[in-house]
Structure 1
Amino acid sequence: MSSKQDYKAIIRTVRIEDAEAILDIQREVIKEKDYFIAVSEEFNKTVEEHQEWITKIIEHDRETMFVAEMNGRVVGWIVFLSQERQRMHHTGSIAIMLQKDYRNKGIGKLLLNEILSWAAQHPVIEKVSLGTFSTNSRAIALYNKLGFVEEGRKVKEFKFCDDEYVDDVLMYKFVK
């Protein structure tokens, strides 16, 4: 098994041609059933739809997306999506996904630091928010380590089966 230092990921801005790789990662994470709200049966996005989504992000002045690339292959991504209401222009939310084999290698931290750096330099963005399953303790620990604070929970927000519920942990970080 390789150590964290063996993984040299390149973090770069998303390109339209990354759509298929991003979609593949999303499908893979959804199949795991532990990290994403949607289930496989209800996630039917196409490469073309992802290309349109990425195009909108690239063209939006308060949104961005970065990918982690290793050996020319996209292995993870992070996106910042803004709020459209004028009184919420200063805030937005992030989502992050990594292929299973590339977790716990420091790549998620690299992606998060990149998006936080982008947000801190942005003339309007002040607050970065996210939501995560309460069972995702490794992610919560990383978010805390990077200065995110829990601002609330939606209790039993997600139902996995008859008697299994998970809270939605809402976290934020001010970058200015």
Structure 2
Amino acid sequence: MEQQIKVRVAVEEDAATMLEIQKEVLAEEDFLITTVEEFQQTIDGQKEWIQAKLANERETIFIALYEEKMVGWLMFQSPHRKRLAHTGTFGMMVLKEYRGLGIGKLLLEKIIMWAEHNPYIEKISLGVFSTNERAIALYKKMGFVEEGRKINEIKLHDNEYIDDVLMYKMVHK
């Protein structure tokens, strides 16, 4: 299956499809903090965002293609403060019908390899909903460790809260 999946760096022309994927994943309302109503990004704004990420040597975006169709992406960003510049966080989204095919694993392998070869990045971090058990299992399999939780950080509905699980992986020491 993995031979049908390709991962590459994003380009400006990916903006519209990336937005479509993000809107579709947001509409699921299962695993992302931003709600569909809050999401206001435009294609031009997305293009500028892609340019800014790729122009920064501490940041990147990878696109996942399944049989040449974009089905997911991963964005890595690093703080601009000197004492945090060795770190970065990522967010990943894969279309629901393509989950379980190894796409997330390939995107993670790509970002880990990128970080290992980046002279600035030493620690990769993420936050994941405590209810996203498949993602947590994948992150652990890829060497990420839970470093803490923000208890009841995410409020889904009245009296329905979930934890934000904080995970990390050191790529340089």
Q: Which of 58, 77, 84 matches 2:73?
A: 77
Partner of 1:62: 58
Question: Which residue of 103, 107, 113 maps to 2:99?
Answer: 103
| Counterpart AA for 2:64 | A
Q: Given the alignment of the two structures, is residue 130 of structure 1 paired with residue 126 of structure 2, yes or no?
A: yes
> Normalising to structure 2: TM-score of the pair?
0.97
Could you say if the C-alpha distance between residues 32 and 109 of structure 1 is closer, same or farther in structure 2, counting changes exceeding 3 Å? same
Residue 148 of structure 1 and its aligned partner are, at CA, apart by: 0.3
The Cα of 1:72 is off from its aligned counterpart by 2.5
| Percentage identity across paired residues of the two chains | 51
TM-score by length of 1: 0.95
Q: Give the deviation of 1:69 after TM superposition.
A: 1.0
**Is 1:48 aligned to 2:72, yes or no?**
no
Q: CA RMSD in A?
A: 1.0
* Equivalent pair of 1:7/1:105 in contact (CA under 8 Å): no
Q: Does 1:166 align with 2:162?
A: yes
Q: List structure 1 runs of 4+ shifted beyond 6 angstroms.
A: none
What stretches of structure 2 of length at least 5 have no aligned partner? none
Query: Counterparts of 1:77 and 1:141 in 2: how far apart (Å)?
Result: 19
Question: Aligned match of 1:93 in 85, 89, 94?
Answer: 89
Equivalent pairs counted in the alignment come to 172
Question: Counterpart amino acid of 1:159?
Answer: K
Answer whether contact 2:2 2:102 (CA < 8 A) is retained: no
- Partner of residue 146 from structure 1, selected from 137, 142, 146: 142
